[in-house]
Amino acid sequence: MKTLIKIFAAAAALGLMPAGAAAQEANLAQPKQELAAQPQSAGAPRDQISAQSQASPAQPQEVSDPALATPAAEEPSNSQVAQTMLGAGTKPTPGIGQPDGRMGVQDQFTPIGEEAAWFHNVILMPVITVISIFVLILLLYVVIRYRRAAHPIPSRTTHNTLLEVVWTLVPVLILVVIAVPSIKLLANQYSPPKADLTVKVIGNQWYWNYQYPDHGDFELTSNVLSDADAKKRGEPRLLGVDERMVVPAGATVKLIITSNDVIHAFGVPAFWVKLDAVPGRLNETWFKADKPGVYYGQCYELCGARHAYMPIAVEVVPPAQFAAWVASKGGTMPGGAQRASGDETATSPITNPAATAADVTNTSGGSATETSPEPSNIVNAVGTAPVSTQGATNSKRGDSQ
């Protein structure tokens, strides 16, 4: 009977496997006409590379094929990287905010990152080193001192009160030394100061969306650049993106992190920031970077076939340049004039009887009259949310099947 049940279970599993594989391939596929109809990011792209990437995001075969990868001898130099970084005129210091082959953590550029690096370098590493050396010396001593040739009659000692007290108290004291700065670091991480701006980070398969609710609620879609485009810009391979998150230097940035599909993780090593993006949950963290530059990160949670192709790029710029960037994206700075809306009702005499005809602003672009001429600077500031097509096209693996 048990054998029969096992046979039925195996047959059922084999019968369901093809259906599951077909469903997975169907989720990855999408008609090309639907992809062409999807909207793009708010605001004008920074350059032709960004425009092409937003219209047709790079696919895995464009960034993972060894034949297409940038050879080590042709990688851009630090000076090229510093000169070609895009954004509001930012010229970052070469070598910051990206992997450079060293052992240990990256240079930190936030208060929390500096505190964590100090804790790692001054507390953890010395303690770990001393303990490892002590245990190694103790093992060598025991091996040599109590080998059979030098100690043919084994000791009959079963208890040593002093030794037992020492090896109980010393680890406790070590843990206390580690715990005090560790708890302080955790308290600072999860007790942020008042935020100067908020950025909502949304993970998708396989790209990022950045929303700025404090600046007109515009949204960006950030896709990985192909090897060819990354080389043109002088950006690190698999880290360059067509649209970066841009924040002002010296500002406390609150990040609200979530996901639209599966669990992702937003992380920037140079900021000491890493937090999961979970569907249906809003996780919160923060950072404050004083040094202008471009800082890279990646998704740190295995999220599917293209997990390796959703990098993060955060550009820190001076406040004046950040305001110019916000304006270029169709947003507004807090306290400034609000963006016009086609369904504006705040000044409508119907919903607001106190409003007069002179207060009503024509933002719909309708026909002009003698008493109400057509405005000359109509801007359609209301757009649909940007959607990337990166996760919807067939992958190389899917085409081969």
| % of the chain surpassing 70 pLDDT | 60
Confidence at residue 136, expressed as pLDDT on a 0 to 100 scale: 96
Give the HSE-up count for residue 351: Cα atoms under 13 Å, Cβ half-sphere. Answer: 7
The mean pLDDT value for 38-50 works out to 55
The mean pLDDT value for 37-60 works out to 57
- Residue 135: pLDDT band (50, 70, 90) is very high
User: 216 CB contacts (<8 Å, ≥6 apart)?
Assistant: 326, 330, 331, 332, 338, 339, 381
Confidence at residue 354, expressed as pLDDT on a 0 to 100 scale: 53
Confidence at residue 258, expressed as pLDDT on a 0 to 100 scale: 95
Please choose, from the candidates 295, 190, 164, the residue with its C-alpha nearest in 3D space to the C-alpha of residue 239: 295
Of residues 89 and 14, more confidence is placed in 14
The mean pLDDT value for 350-365 works out to 44
- Residue 105: pLDDT band (50, 70, 90) is confident
Asked whether the predicted pLDDT for residue 379 surpasses 80, the reply is: no
Confidence at residue 9, expressed as pLDDT on a 0 to 100 scale: 58
Of residues 382 and 326, more confidence is placed in 326
Q: Comparing 166-170, 301-305, 392-396, which segment has the lowest mean pLDDT?
A: 392-396
Of residues 231 and 36, more confidence is placed in 231
- pLDDT (tens digit, 9 = 90+) per residue, 190-205? 888 899 999 999 999 8
- pLDDT (tens digit, 9 = 90+) per residue, 271-325? 999 999 999 999 999 999 988 889 999 999 998 999 999 999 999 999 999 999 9
Q: What secondary structure, in 3-state letters, does the chain show?
A: CHHHHHHHHHHHHHHHHHHHHHHHHHHHCCCHHHHHHCCCCCCCCCCHHHHHHHHCCCCHHHHHCCCCCCCHHHCCCHHHHHHHCCCCCCCCCCCCCCCCCCCCCCCCCCHHHHHHHHHHHHHHHHHHHHHHHHHHHHHHHHHHHCCCCCCCCCCCCCCCHHHHHHHHHHHHHHHHHHHHHHHHHHHHHCCCCCCCEEEEEEEECCEEEEEEHHHCCEEEEECECCHHHHHHHCCCCCCCECCCEEEECCCEEEEEEEECCCCEEEEEHHHCEEEEECECCCEEEEEECCCCEEEEEEECCCCCCCHHHCEEEEEEECHHHHHHHHHHCCCCCCCCCCCCCCCCCCCCCCCCCCCCHHHCCCCCCCCCCCCCCCCCCCCCCCCCCCCCCCCCCCCHHHHHC
Asked whether the predicted pLDDT for residue 81 surpasses 60, the reply is: no
